[in-house]
């Protein structure tokens, strides 16, 4: 059967980037529909009525929501290329744990530091929290090339989208290379994969988005 794959997406979103990388790794062809979240499309509201968020993968007319669930779905449906998740149940649970850890921590803490806190004191506290999480992840990475060992796996796909923010974090006073050198080396290694580099918004464009969101917060709109 011909596969019709559509992604409701936002180029600046790390959750969207996670799905874009997954699809690129599996060489899946798809139509990407950029969404305006300030004026949600009828299609987005129809496909994700509960959360009303991107990304949404629409496969042959049926929606799959939530980036981590989409990533597992992609891995299960397109099995030709290398797998993102290990087949062993224990190892699979381990991968899911770290995906959950990233989902629970990195976006909230990075956005708190970059554009969700107003006072310098709050921003400094958010910076410490973010660095603490990255250090935990650095410990888990250890001396491995990827979180998946020799192979680029679901944890790598989940975390690497946040690399697009490193330039913004640096501009705002967080020196990631000094704080977490192994994470920066790992990210640079991941960025050598075309599937990753083509899926991320440039650091400069990301910084523009961060500044836009920060100004929006400060002006109260």
**Of these, 3, 52, 118, 215, which contacts ligand GS8 (CB under 6 A)?**
52
User: Residue 66 interacts with ligand GS8 (CB under 6 A)?
Assistant: yes
Cα dihedral 172, 177, 181, 182 in deg (nearest 10): 70
State in angstroms the smallest separation of the CB of 178 from ligand GS8. Answer: 27
* β strands within the chain, DSSP E: 5-9, 31-34, 56-59, 62-65
3-state SS assignment for residue 199: coil
- Judged by CB under 6 A, the residue of 67, 117, 168, 195 near ligand GS8 is 67
Q: Which of 6, 7, 13, 187 binds ligand GS8 (CB under 6 A)?
A: 13
Q: In what order do the strands lie in the sheet with 62-65?
A: 31-34, 5-9, 56-59, 62-65
Q: How far is the CB of 2 from ligand GS8 (least distance, A)?
A: 27
Q: Within 13 Å, how many C-alpha atoms sit on residue 115's CB side?
A: 18
User: Binding mask 21-40 vs ligand GS8 (x if CB under 6 A, - otherwise)?
Assistant: ----------------x---
Stretch that binds ligand GS8, among 65-73, 128-136, 157-165, 202-210 (CB under 6 A): 65-73
- The count of chain residues that interact with ligand GS8, using the rule CB under 6 A, is 11
Rounded (5°) CA angle 183-186-188? 110
Query: If binding is defined by CB under 6 A, does position 10 make contact with ligand GS8?
Result: yes
Contacting residue, 15, 85, 115, 147, with ligand GS8 by CB under 6 A: 15
Selection from 151, 157, 144, 148 nearest residue 185 by Cα: 144
* Calpha distance 19→211 (Å, rounded): 25
Judged by CB under 6 A, does residue 45 bind ligand GS8?
no
Stretch that binds ligand GS8, among 47-55, 93-101, 161-169, 199-207 (CB under 6 A): 47-55
- The residue nearest ligand GS8 at its CB is 53
The Cβ-side half-sphere exposure at 23, using a 13 Å CA radius, reads: 26
- Minimum distance of ligand GS8 from residue 13's CB (angstroms): 4
Identify any residues that bridge with 146 across adjacent strands, giving them in sequence order.
149
SS3 215: helix
* Residues engaged in binding ligand GS8 (CB under 6 A): 10, 13, 15, 37, 52-55, 66-68
């Amino acid at each position: 059967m011909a596969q019709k794959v559509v992604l409701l997406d936002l180029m600046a979103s790390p959750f969207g980037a996670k799905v874009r990388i997954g699809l690129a790794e599996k060489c899946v062809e798809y139509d990407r529909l950029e969404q305006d979240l300030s004026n949600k499309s009828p299609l987005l509201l129809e496909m994700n009525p509960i959360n009303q968020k991107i990304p949404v993968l629409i496969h042959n007319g049926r929606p799959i929501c939530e980036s981590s669930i989409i990533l597992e779905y992609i891995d299960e449906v397109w099995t030709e290329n290398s797998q993102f998740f290990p087949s062993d149940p224990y190892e699979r649970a381990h991968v899911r744990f770290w995906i959950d850890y990233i989902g629970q921590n990195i976006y909230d803490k990075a956005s708190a530091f970059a554009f969700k806190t107003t006072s310098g004191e709050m921003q400094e506290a958010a910076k410490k929290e973010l660095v603490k999480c990255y250090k935990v992840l650095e410990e888990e990475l250890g001396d491995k090339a990827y979180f998946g060992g020799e192979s680029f796996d679901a944890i790598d796909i989940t975390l690497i989208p946040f690399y697009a923010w490193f330039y913004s974090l640096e501009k705002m006073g967080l020196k990631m290379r000094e704080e977490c050198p192994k994470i920066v080396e790992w990210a640079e290694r991941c960025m050598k994969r075309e599937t990753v580099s083509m899926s991320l918004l440039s650091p400069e464009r990301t910084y523009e988005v961060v500044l836009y969101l920060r100004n929006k917060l400060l002006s109260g709109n």
